[in-house]
Amino acid sequence: MLFFEEVSERADALLAHGNQLHETVGRLGEQIEALEGLIQAEEAKLLPLRRRTVFDIVAKRSDTTTTFLLLRMSGMTHLLISIVNIIVLTLLACLFMAHIVLPRLSFL
């Protein structure tokens, strides 16, 4: 009989401990739900800021629209502009050489 009483007491203690754990898990679940609500509220506040891009920020701070337009261009457009700039600068250098440097060299 002593064995059964001891087992019954241990079972009651385990049951009480299980109930405490169940209550603790329930409270933790409520706290998690409250935190998720706070997180969603903060994300809702930050959403308009996320939609602003670097280009929008630069456009508001920039005085000239040219800078804004250049920043909004894609990488391929930048590449094309760079190639055109190199060609134009090369042509200008050739004209400079042909009209100023070469005539002076011929007098030597």
User: Is residue 81 one of the residues assigned to a domain?
Assistant: yes
Tens of pLDDT, residues 56-90: 555 555 555 555 555 555 566 777 788 889 999 99
Report the C-alpha gap between 74 and 72 in whole angstroms: 7
Q: How many CB atoms lie under 10 A from the CB of residue 73?
A: 13
Give me the number of domains the chain comprises.
Answer: 2
* 55, 72 contact by CB (below 8 A): yes
User: Is residue 99 one of the residues assigned to a domain?
Assistant: yes
- The angle, 0 to 180 degrees and rounded to 10, between the axes of the packed helices 54-61 and 65-72 is 170
Report the C-alpha gap between 97 and 10 in whole angstroms: 102
For residue 26, is pLDDT > 60?
Answer: yes
User: 75 lies in which domain range?
Assistant: 62-108
Q: Does 36 lie in the same domain as 10?
A: yes
pLDDT in the model for residue 90? 92
Q: How many CB atoms lie under 10 A from the CB of residue 32?
A: 10
